[in-house]
Amino acid sequence: MRKITLNFAMLAAILLFSSCGNSQAVTNSEEVKTSLNTNVQQAEVEELLYYLSSNELKGRQTGKEGIELAAQKIESIFKESGIEKYFDTYRHNFEIDGVKGFNVVGMLEGNDPELNDEFIILGAHYDHIGIQDPVEGDSIANGANDNAAGTVAVVELAKKFAEIDNNKRSIMFVLFSAEEMGLVGAKKIAQRLKQDELDLYALFNFEMIGIPMNDKDYIGYLTGYENSNFAEKFNEYSGKKVLGFLPQAKEYNLFKRSDNYPFFEEFNVPAQTISTFDFTNYDYYHHVADEAEKLDITHMTNVIESVIPGILKMTNTSEKEIKLSK
């Protein structure tokens, strides 16, 4: 996540995004399988997290060899899982200040001829800040929580939804690059998809989900909470309180500080981010010590599993029920 200058006391909090009720039973065509298997393999979550934040990838800086290796890994999983290409390849290429970057993009086409032109995007940035000044001999900013964790969530969700194979709307999975350079990858692809006249229903972005929050009655907070009924409907769909409101997220306008925001600007639809960094539970933002060993794999797996029913219902309602506030 790219840095901004603010007072010291809340520096880590602001920087987080600087670069960066029970459900009612439904019937007939809107019914979701009651035997839905939301189980995600924790060992696979751990394996991918450790690879993406390994020293081999040298901090996944846009334009460097490490992010190429990360992209190749994600592409191989997409291909193996039957995730389709939206473009000619899994990559959406762009250039910024002479640096070549690329988002990694896959999709699952919806199975309803009347709804499959409508898209839900699940996104996360997979880049980080690369090599930094050494601290106790370590100069690699591995970016485990920021944002290998969110990347793992999107990749695991792609695998799970390919397995479920029950989405009426189409789902696009986007791993953004150059977030640390100012949300550049998200801006570039949002502009491209707008040119394509993509019918975007909503975007759900994943950012720093590696550590559970302290003393909260929900799993993750949603940025821009008051801008739409996203959290309300999502919790209804899920049958539990998955998404909540964090006052600091509004106070520091985190809604504008991650990859959701360019899509809100281009499409004027609900485009929001889930995070579990609560300003008290992680001390290693943009630090060489942001490593996989410090994250809670069980928590990460729970986050991924918990969002599956809500996303699935989003793909299957006959109308676009999630809307911006008036």
Q: What is the full DSSP assignment across 251-316? A: HTTGGGSSTHHHHHHHH-S-EEEEE---SSS---TTSTT--GGGS-HHHHHHHHHHHHHHHHHHHH
How much is the pLDDT for 326? 82
How much is the pLDDT for 22? 43
Q: What's the predicted TM-score (pTM) here? A: 0.91
Residue with tokens 């990859």: 259
How much is the pLDDT for 35? 61
Q: What is the full DSSP assignment across 49-83? A: HHHHTSGGGTT-BTTSHHHHHHHHHHHHHHHHHTP
DSSP label at residue 84: B
- Our measurement of the distance from residue 27's CA atom to the centroid of its chain's CA atoms, rounded to an integer in Å, reads 30
How much is the pLDDT for 281? 96
For the domain 38-215+254-307, what is the CATH superfamily, name and number? Zn peptidases (3.40.630.10)
Say if residue 147 is preceded by a cis peptide, omega within 30 of 0: yes
Tens-digit pLDDT profile for residues 181-223:
999 999 999 999 999 999 999 999 999 999 999 999 999 999 9
How much is the pLDDT for 161? 98
Which stretches of the chain drop beneath a pLDDT of 70?
1-35
Listed residue (2, 306, 304) closest to 143, CA to CA:
2
